[in-house]
Structure 1
């Protein structure tokens, strides 16, 4: 039997992306997001219009999509409730967000120079994609204030031991991406860490974290 619960959130399970972008002063913003999907060498990103990342992509037209493994969940969670906006939007402040100009330091991650874009990569991420913005479309309606970005992947960097020897393919058994399901962190099918974001969004918790 099916029911119609009127779901508040539709994040059924997508990879977490640490998206790096350049601020107007040349510094780097780093933001976790999970509204992304890929086709061939292109990716669609869904980003809220109140965030610094959206402003950076509209102005600078480039970014790096850094994919953390499930083992990096601590780093992601440390910046989950931070924003690169010096004036924190009211709705984010209510959820517990704070302004943080140096998210790499807070996350304890390392900037790594890119090769074809100016935006730095995250050195610790096993997969990094240098991208340019191809087009964008504002999404409005039903309380939604977001922008859909189409980006072209210009160069992909993959940790060597994740490549199947003699091929150009990632080993799906070796690659354990950090997944977000309904604002909770998962890896290898298990809840791997408590989520500040879930707390900020007042999500109900019925999970026991396996993190130590």
Structure 2
């Protein structure tokens, strides 16, 4: 039996992402988030307009999307209620956030140089996606009470780095979903994936049929 319900949040489960960006002074910022979805070699992310990551993306138009596995959950949790914005925005003060300049340091994570963008990669994350901003859009622009508070970014992936341990044997361009265990955020709690529950007919489609012009462009630029 279903009942009408009004949850304060609708986070039914999405991957956790650590976004690395460059600050104005050349230092590196790192922020966890999970408002993201992919289409081909592009993705859309949603961020608070007042966040440091948003300001950095608006200015530099570059980032790295680092996807942690379940093994990195403690590192993610150490930076969960921190911000690179100083002073801390009022909305985050109410939620108990504090300012931290060295996000990598407090998380116990390490930087790796990127190839196509200036922000660094997170060495410990099995998936590292270098990306550039292609478009910026507001959210809830028709609502005077929400207008200007949330920003969505369309990102184009320019380089993909994958830990060999999550790849399909003999296929350097294919992730094995039985080996890849992303960290999932569901209603503010951390989870991992379980075992496959059923055969998928979509798996009958060869992966190369999903190739996109963005993938070919990235391979041409960085090869």
Q: What TM-score bracket applies, with the shorter chain setting the length?
A: 0.7 to 0.9
What CA RMSD, in Å, does the superposition of the two structures yield over aligned residues? 1.3
2: CA distance, partners of 1:113 / 1:169: 23
Partner of 1:58: 58
For residues 37-186 of structure 1, the aligned pairs below 5 Å read 37-140=37-140, 141=143, 143=146, 145-167=149-171, 168-186=173-191
| Distance in 2 (alpha carbons) for counterparts of 1:135 and 1:143 | 20
Structure 1 gaps of 5+ residues are: 190-212
Cα distance, 1:116 vs. partner?
0.8
Superposed displacement of residue 161, structure 1: 1.6
Shift in Å, 1:165: 2.0
CA distance in 2, matches of 1:28, 1:86: 15
> Given the two structures, how large is their TM-score scaled by the length of structure 1?
0.87
Aligned match of 1:2: 2
Compute the displacement of 1:7 (Å). 1.5
Q: Which stretches of structure 1, 4 residues or more, deviate above 6 A after TM superposition?
A: none
Higher helix share: 2
- Deviation at residue 91 of structure 1 after TM alignment: 1.7
SS at match of 2:32: strand
1:91 alignment partner, SS class: helix
Paired residue for 2:209?
none
Q: Secondary structure at the match of 1:172?
A: coil
Superimposed CA distance per residue, residues 49-82 of structure 1 (whole angstroms, 9 cap, x where no aligned partner):
1100000001100000000001111000000000
Shift of 1:166: 2.4
Q: Size of the alignment, in residue pairs?
A: 190
Query: Following the alignment from structure 1 to structure 2, what is the Cα–Cα distance between the partners of residues 91 and 33?
Result: 16
Report the CA distance between 1:169 and its aligned residue: 1.0
Q: Give the C-alpha shift of residue 15 in structure 1.
A: 0.1
CA distance in 2, matches of 1:165, 1:185: 29
Counterpart-to-counterpart distance in 1, 2:42 and 2:92? 30
Distance 1:124 1:89 in 2: 29
Rg bigger for which structure? 2
CA deviations over 1:8-36 (Å, ceiling 9, x no partner):
10100000000000111111100000001
Distance 1:139 1:84 in 2: 23
